[in-house]
Structure 1
Amino acid sequence: MKTLLFLAKGFETMEFSVFVDVLGWARHDYGYDVQVETCGFKKEVMSTFNIPVVVDRTIDEINVDEYDALAIPGGFEEFGFYEEAYDEKFLDLIRKFDAKGKIIASICVAALPLGKSGVLKNRKATTYHLKEGYRQKQLAEFLVNVVNEPIVVDKNIITSYCPETASGVAFKLLELLTSKEQMEVVKKAMGFS
């Protein structure tokens, strides 16, 4: 199983690292077949708070058929997140993953490019819920049935409503890639009850 971890400019490092760590523990400590490949528009992606990350591949090198899942951390508008998250190339990549029924796991405002791509139309999802719910209102404008819950799963798509949910999304992704039992083994080993 291989997950494409997509980093748009201005992504949050905490929301990125949970996918690396949860799937890394599963792979390294338990031998689960859950590989992770990072991707961005450029080889070096600048995160929120200006931490640079070098990715494995650029978006132009991606063949959707090589992956079982797409993982997307959210980010800050002030650090340019939507410049790349709303880019048509990325929206098309999202559509391709969804058209093939592959898992898409997003944290916080990473649900917004999913909404903009059209894959969440008439489906349940959530996004950042604080500050008067303005991001949830934005998501609803894409004809999404917004649910104010920490983590929402609708068929193949996982969305969540703030950075606090990051580990929960990563564990849900691991569960969908493996099994509930295998996910629980890793969760317990990492100290999550």
Structure 2
Amino acid sequence: MKKVLLLLADGFEAVEASVFTDVFGWNKWEGDRSTELITVGLRKQIKCTWNFTVLVEQVVGDIDLEQFDALAIPGGFEEVGYYKDAYDERFLEVIRHFDAKDKPIASICVASLTLGRSGILQNRQATTYNHPTSHRKEQLKAFGAHVQHSPIVQDGHIITSSNPATGFDVAFLLLEALTSKENTKRVKELMGFNN
């Protein structure tokens, strides 16, 4: 069984987390049944951008990162404290661990800034929130990333994306990296994406 660590920061966007829980949940029950997703945070209770509160299954300080095969990180809103957790050294160390092991890392929207802050995007291609009024691309560039103007950017084992609308595509790319194209196609069909 391949384990995905879904790393949540206070202020995360629920929809960006839910694409991972749903895609990997469908795979666990209806796909090839080879994956399991575990929610993890810096504390047991995490609040999302719109005040939805979740109790994570595990806390960063209590887990063995070696037991996980991939990392998924949803973005969130600065206005509700997303970067307080997302830039916390404990959060960044999780990211560095997965990068050092060349394990898949998938981020949505501004979660790529946490990857940048951790140092793993230095001289790598990446993207982040891309609305014309946003300054997030400049922030990502300041972390040493080669910013691309694409909805989704994959550089080796790292996936970054430009907005919440890319969420399902990112989750399916991660599923494909951990299973197969055929299995991912089946899960997509079961979820109604190929109709």
- Considering the TM-score relative to the shorter chain, is it more than 0.5? yes
1: distance between equivalents of 2:137 and 2:103? Answer: 24
User: 2:177 maps to what in 1?
Assistant: 176
Task: Determine the structure 2 residue equivalent to 1:57.
Answer: 58
Return the TM-score normalized by structure 2: 0.97
Q: CA deviation at 1:52?
A: 0.5
2:84 partner amino acid: E
- Separation in 1, partners of 2:161, 2:146: 13
Q: Which residue of 1 aligns with 2:118?
A: 117
Query: SS of 2:23's equivalent?
Result: helix
Structure 2 segments unaligned to the other structure (5+ residues): none
Offset at 1:188? 1.4
Aligned counterpart, 1:164:
165
1:13 corresponds to: 14
SS at match of 2:34: coil
Are 2:99 and 1:98 equivalent residues in the alignment?
Answer: yes
Q: 1:132 Cα shift? A: 3.3
Question: What is the alpha-carbon root mean square deviation over aligned residues?
Answer: 0.9
| 4+ aligned runs moved over 6 Å, structure 1 | none
Paired letter, 1:63: D
Gaps of 5+ in 1: none
- Please give the TM-score of this superposition, normalised by the length of structure 1: 0.98
Query: How big is the shift at 1:131?
Result: 3.5
Q: In the aligned structure 2, how far is the partner of 1:158 from the partner of 1:62?
A: 23
SS of 1:108's equivalent in the other structure is coil
Q: In the alignment, is residue 42 of structure 1 matched against residue 34 of structure 2?
A: no
- Shift in Å, 1:100: 0.5
Whole-angstrom distance in 2 between the partners of 1:185 and 1:125? 28
CA offsets 1:99-135 (integer angstroms, 9 cap, x no match): 0111100000000010010101000000000043410
Q: Which residue of 1 aligns with 2:136?
A: 135
Alignment of 1:63-102 (within 5 A): 63-102=64-103
C-alpha displacement at 1:30, in angstroms? 2.4
State the distance in 1 between where 2:193 and 2:32 align.
20
- In structure 1, C-alpha distance between the alignment counterparts of 2:83 and 2:121, rounded to whole Å: 17
Q: Secondary structure at the match of 1:119?
A: coil
Match for 1:164: what amino acid?
A
